[in-house]
Amino acid sequence: MTWNRKDILDIESLSVDEIQLILNTADGLKEISQRPIKKVPTLRGKTIVLFFHEPSTRTRISFDVAAKRLSADSISISASASSLIKGETLVDTAKNLEAMNPDVIVIRHSSAGTPYLLAKRISTSIINAGDGMHAHPTQALLDMMTVREKKGDLKGLNIAIVGDISHSRVARSNIVGFTKMGAKVRIAGPPTMIPVGIESLGAIVFNDMDEVIDGADVIMMLRIQKERQQRFLFPSEREYASRYGLTLSRIKDSRPDVMIMHPGPLNRGVEISSQAADYVNSVILDQVTNGVALRMALLYLLAGGIRHADDH
């Protein structure tokens, strides 16, 4: 297939063929990071702007590493160090960035929809690195890459996503992505953290942690997003950990080959115990490794050119 997409805004708008092309491209680029000299000239002369309005470790650094491994120039700007604090609007800021002719702008913003607004108003390619509680498409793509790498195929797998589903852009993008690729997604969490109508995305809602992980091929744990909660949605962290936390004993009651995932950052002892996070079945750091390859693939496809699905 021919790649002709300008932006990556969400998983909904990507076709199965486009997702497969992205994952195949990432698989092919992954070995560059294992070389003694971890750099290829593919995007030499291209410019990537990293525009993060919310804190980030994994997403921002992995986009930066991805750009550098492909020899692109990457420039980071934050809201506090830009003229936004002098009253310039976000669109004006983006138009000024566009005037400097970058090839891709990667944006994270606390307001859902911001990347769509910029994608409409400027001609530069936009990648959504997380918009409010709405979407985190590059996280979902790297999660799909990680599961596909270990399990071979996503079709028919049972994916359990547990935690603060209401406030999680990772949950939304993963429910849509895994379902689109033929997996079955089940979710669980305190009723106060399960949004009404989430079933319409294709997920099956469970009330009980032990039921949702029973027979699951993948258990994906999510952090409680206190920064997005207006009020306390559970009595105590201790009670939360006991009812919805992933522990070694829960893992041992599940499938022997179950994959343990978490997008990070972890709150050890709350949604996941240290023993569970560091267990042999945990692929949490593989997700981070694959995040670099996946973001290299997106920068390559948006800024670099055309690749064919069967190139590998």
State the residues that interact with ligand CP by CB under 6 A.
56-59, 130, 139, 263-265
Please count the CA atoms within 13 angstroms of the CA of 91 that sit on its side-chain side. Answer: 8
Shortest Å, Cβ 180 to ligand CP: 20
CB-count exposure of residue 305 (10 Å: 0-12, 13-18, 19+): exposed
Residue number with CB closer to ligand CP (58 or 255): 58
Smaller CB separation from ligand CP, 20 or 287: 287
CB of 205 to ligand CP, least distance (A): 23
Q: Please name which of 218, 243, 221, 79 lies closest in space to residue 154, comparing C-alpha atoms.
A: 218
Strand order in the sheet with 218-221: 204-206, 184-188, 158-162, 218-221, 259-261
Q: Could you tell me if 161 and 175 are in contact, meaning their C-beta atoms sit under 8 angstroms apart?
A: yes
State which residue, 98 or 286, has the beta carbon closest to ligand CP. Answer: 286
Minimal CA–CA distance to 58: which of 129, 111, 135, 120? 129
Nearest-approach distance from CB 50 to ligand CP, in angstroms = 11
In terms of CB distance, is 69 or 307 closer to ligand CP?
A: 69
CA distance 157 to 184: 6
Answer positive or negative: Cα dihedral of 166, 170, 176, 178.
negative
The residue among 190 and 263 lying less far from ligand CP, judged by its C-beta, is 263
As measured in angstroms, the least distance from the Cβ of 58 to ligand CP is: 4
Query: What's the closest the beta carbon of residue 228 comes to ligand CP, in angstroms?
Result: 13
Residue 238 beta carbon to ligand CP: minimum distance, rounded to whole angstroms: 25
Nearer to ligand CP, 57 or 83 (CB): 57
C-alpha count within 13 angstroms, C-beta hemisphere, residue 118: 32
